[in-house]
Structure 1
Amino acid sequence: METGGQGFAPRTIAGVYAVGGTTWILLSDRAVATLVSDPSLVAIARTVNGWAFVAFSTAVIYGLAAQDRRSLERTADRLDRAVQQTSILHRILRHNLRNTCNVIQGNVQLLRERGDDLDDECVDAIEAQTDALLEIAEKTRLLRGVASDDPPKAVTVDVATLVDDRVDAARDRFQEAEFRVETPARAPARVHPRIDTAIDELLENAVVHADDEPVIEVSVRTGTDAVELAITDDGPGLPRIERAVLEADVERQTVHSEGLGLWLVRTIVTEGGGDVRVGGEDTSAGAVVTVAFEPPGESSDGWL
C-alpha cells in the first residue's frame, strides 16, 4: 500500500474495497448455503450477512481514511516547519547580506575619498559586486512577497499606459538604448499588482542581452482572449538558464542569480493569471519575450 508519508492513493482504497467486498460475498454466500439448511432461515441469514458486510466495509473505509488523514497531517506539519525554516533563513540572509554590502560600500567610498593612488578599476569592481548582491537581496525579497500572496489579488490596469510609463523610465536608466514602442490607445487587462516590476525587469534584460547599441522593440496588442506585450531585442538571444526559467516550471530548474530576475517576472505574471512565452531562438532578431494577460472580466476589482 502507498503509505510512505503520502497516504493512500484513491486506486489503493478502491482496490482494497473491491478485493475485500468480492471475497466477503463469495465466502459468506458459500457459508450461508453450507451452514443454513432451513429455507425459512436463509433470508434472515442473508440479511445478517448484508449488515455484517456494511459494518465490515465501513470499518475498512474508516481505517483507510483515518490513515490517509494522519499522513496528510504529518505532511502539513513538515511543510509548516519547512516554511518557518525558510522564512528564518531568508531574514538572516537578507539582514546579513544587506549589512555586509552596506559596510563594503561605505569603505569603498572612504577609499575613493582618501586615496589618490588607488586602483580605480579594483574599486569599481568591488562596488559593482556589492550593487549586484544588494540587487539579488531585493529581488529575493520581492519574489518571496509575491509567492506568499495567497491568493493573489489581480487588478485591472491599462497595459498600454503602463508600458509607455515603464519605457520612459527605462530610457532614463539606459540612455545608450533605443526603444521603439507601439501601443494602442487603451489595453485594459487583469494583472498582478507588481506587474510594473516585471516589465522593468524584462526591459532591463532586453538591454543587457542586446548589442552594444541596443534597439529594443516594445509592442502591445489587444485581442478577444488576451492582451499581449512583446519585447524584442537585437542580441544573440537569451542564455539557456534564463530561457529555462521562463519556459519551464521554475521549481524544476537550478536557478542561478542570473535567472533570479526572470524567475520574479514569471512568478508575477503567472500569479496574476498571465503567461510568458519565449521566441526568437531560430532567428537573427534576438530574443522575443511575449507576456499574455487576461482581459478584464465582470469580477474586476477596480483600476490600479
Structure 2
Amino acid sequence: MLIVLTPLLVTQAIVLILFYGTYLNVVSRRLSDGITGEVSLVISMLERTPEQDRREALLRDASARTQLEFVFHPNATLGREGTNHVLGPIDDDFERALHQGLGRPFFVDWSAVPETVRVSIALPDGVLDVLTPHKRLSIGPIWMFVAWAFSSSALLFVIAALFMRNQVRAIRRLAQAAELFGLGRDEGAIRPQGAREVRQAAIAFNRMQDRVNRFVAQRTAVLAGVSHDLRTPLTRLRLSMAMLPTKGRIQAEDLQPDIQDMVTDIEDMERLIGSYLSFARGEGSERPVLTDLRSLIDEVAVAARRAGGQVLGVEGREGVEIPARPDALKRALTNLADNARRHGGAMRISLWEGERRIEITVEDNGPGIPPDQRETILQSTRSGSNGGSGLGLTIVRDIIHAHGGTIRLLESPLGGLGVLLSLPK
C-alpha cells in the first residue's frame, strides 16, 4: 500500500509546489498589475481635470467601465500607509504593484468591507478610495484546490486498496498453503486466483507439490519393495543355517560357533531391513489428524515397559493436541524409547506446551553422546553391541522435520542423552 500511497502524495506535493509556486504567482501579479494600471489611469485623468463636476462624472464613468468603485474625498489626508493583510502572496503582489505603478502613499484595507479590498491613495488635494472586488485579485481559495487534490488521492488510494486486497488475499493463501505443506499438512492443490502473475505462482506451486508428492511416493515404494524382497533370501539363509549341521560328515559341534555368528549377522540384517521398512512407512501417505500427544506418549511408555525398559515418569498435562501423523509420530517416539532402553535402561518422557510450539523430551541414563558428535550423530543412530540398526535417529529426524519441527540432542539430568523434539502447534 505504501508503494501506491507514496507516489500519490509526492505527485500532489509537486503539483501544489509547481502550481501555487509558479502559475498562481504569475496570475496574481498580472491581476495586481491590471488593477494598478486602471487606478493609475484614473488618477492621471483626475490630475488633468481640475473641475469638480467633471471629476465626479469621470469617476462615475470609470466605476462603470472598470468594475471598480472610485470615491474622492477632497482635502482629506491619509491616516496610515501600507497594508493590514498578512495572509499570503496576493497582498505582497498587490502592494508591490501599487508601489511601482503609483509612486505615492497608499493604504490597503482588506477587512473594511466583506469581499472587497479598499485602497486609499493620497493625492495632492485629497484622498481617492478605490473599492476592488476581492475576486479580481484572487483566482480562488487555495483550500479548495488542496481539498480536491488530496480527496482525489484518497479516492484513488481506496480504489487501489480494494483491487490490491484481492491480490494480497491470493498471495496470503499461497503462503499459507506453502507453510502447511512444509509442516507436512498437505491440504491439496490451491485454486489460482488474482492477477496473472499470482495465478502463475499458484499453478507453479501446485505442480511443485504434485512432483514432490510423486517423488516421495516413488521413493517410498522402491525402498519398501527392496526391503521386502531382501527378506526372502535372508529367510532361506536362516533355514540353511538351521539345516547345515545335519549334512555330511562334519560334526555339528565344530560348526556351532560359526553358525551362531552367521545367525547373529542374519538377525542384524533383518533388524536393518525392518528399520528400512519402518522408514518407508514413515514416508507414506498418512494424513495429518488432530492428535492427543499425552495419550500417544502414554502408549509409548507402556510399550517400553513391556519391552523391559524402566520408565521413571511421564510428565505433561492431558489434552494437548496438534495436527500430526499419529502413526509416524508414535514410531519416532518408539525409536527414542528403544534407544533409551538399549543404551541405558531407564528413561523419562516430558511434554511441555508453549504458546506456539510443543516440546517433547526423552531422557535416558545411558553413556550419552559427546557434544562435538551430536550434530553428526543425527545422520545415523548409535550402533554397537546393543544392536542399533543405523536408522533410528534418522527416522526420528525425518518424521519430525516432516511435521515442521526440529530435533536437538542435549545433556540429560539422568546422566545420559536427552532428545528434545519441538513441534509447531
Q: Could you tell me the TM-score, scaled by structure 1's length?
A: 0.55
Structure 1 residue 294 and structure 2 residue 415: aligned? no
Q: Is the 8 A contact 2:381 2:394 kept in 1?
A: no
Partner of 2:314: 182
Output the CA distance in 2 between the equivalents of 1:100 and 1:241: 36
Note the alpha carbon deviations across 1:183-236, whole angstroms, 9 max, x for none: 3341222323311111111011112222xxx22122222222222211111122
Q: Is the 8 A contact 1:156 1:191 kept in 2?
A: yes
Q: Is the 8 A contact 1:190 1:294 kept in 2?
A: no
Output the CA distance in 1 between the equivalents of 2:381 and 2:338: 22
Q: Is the 8 A contact 1:191 1:294 kept in 2?
A: no
CA spacing shift, 1:87–1:160, aligned 2, 3 Å = closer
Structure 2 residue corresponding to 1:172, chosen from 300, 306, 310: 306
CA spacing shift, 1:275–1:103, aligned 2, 3 Å = same
Worse-matched range after superposition: 188-197 or 199-208: 188-197
CA spacing shift, 1:167–1:128, aligned 2, 3 Å = farther
More strand by share: 2
Q: Is the 8 A contact 2:351 2:358 kept in 1?
A: yes
Note the alpha carbon deviations across 1:258-288, whole angstroms, 9 max, x for none: 541211111111112222111018x771100
Structure 1 residue corresponding to 2:393, chosen from 251, 262, 269: 262
CA spacing shift, 1:108–1:243, aligned 2, 3 Å = farther
Structure 1 residue 107 and structure 2 residue 244: aligned? no
- Matched letter for residue 313 of structure 2: V
Output the CA distance in 1 between the equivalents of 2:349 and 2:337: 9
2:355 match: secondary structure:
coil
Output the CA distance in 1 between the equivalents of 2:391 and 2:265: 16
Structure 2 residue corresponding to 1:215, chosen from 337, 346, 349: 346
Larger radius of gyration: 2
Structure 1 residue corresponding to 2:408, chosen from 277, 280, 293: 277
Output the CA distance in 2 between the equivalents of 1:147 and 1:88: 10
Partner of 2:55: none
Deviation of residue 144 (structure 1)? 3.5
2:261 match: secondary structure:
helix
CA spacing shift, 1:243–1:164, aligned 2, 3 Å = farther
Structure 2 residue corresponding to 1:230, chosen from 348, 358, 361: 361
Partner of 1:140: 276
2:391 match: secondary structure:
helix
Partner of 1:98: 231
1:104 match: secondary structure:
helix
Output the CA distance in 2 between the equivalents of 1:153 and 1:107: 42
CA spacing shift, 1:202–1:255, aligned 2, 3 Å = closer
Structure 1 residue 130 and structure 2 residue 266: aligned? yes
CA spacing shift, 1:189–1:242, aligned 2, 3 Å = same
Q: Is the 8 A contact 1:190 1:273 kept in 2?
A: no
Deviation of residue 83 (structure 1)? 8.6
Structure 1 residue corresponding to 2:253, chosen from 98, 105, 117: 117
CA spacing shift, 1:217–1:179, aligned 2, 3 Å = same
- Matched letter for residue 418 of structure 2: V
Output the CA distance in 1 between the equivalents of 2:362 and 2:228: 35
- Matched letter for residue 270 of structure 1: H
CA spacing shift, 1:105–1:279, aligned 2, 3 Å = same
CA RMSD of aligned residues (A): 4.0
Partner of 1:160: 294
How many correspondences in the alignment?
206
Output the CA distance in 2 between the equivalents of 1:181 and 1:105: 40
CA spacing shift, 1:224–1:109, aligned 2, 3 Å = farther
CA spacing shift, 1:137–1:184, aligned 2, 3 Å = same
The residue correspondences of 1:238-253 to structure 2 (distance < 5 A) are: 238=369, 243-246=375-378
- Matched letter for residue 163 of structure 1: I
CA spacing shift, 1:235–1:268, aligned 2, 3 Å = same
Q: Is the 8 A contact 1:245 1:263 kept in 2?
A: no
Structure 1: any 5+ residue segments left out of the alignment?
A: 1-78, 296-304
2:332 match: secondary structure:
helix
Structure 2: any 5+ residue segments left out of the alignment?
A: 1-211
Output the CA distance in 1 between the equivalents of 2:317 and 2:219: 44
- Matched letter for residue 138 of structure 1: G
1:117 match: secondary structure:
helix
Q: Is the 8 A contact 1:179 1:216 kept in 2?
A: yes
Output the CA distance in 2 between the equivalents of 1:121 and 1:217: 39
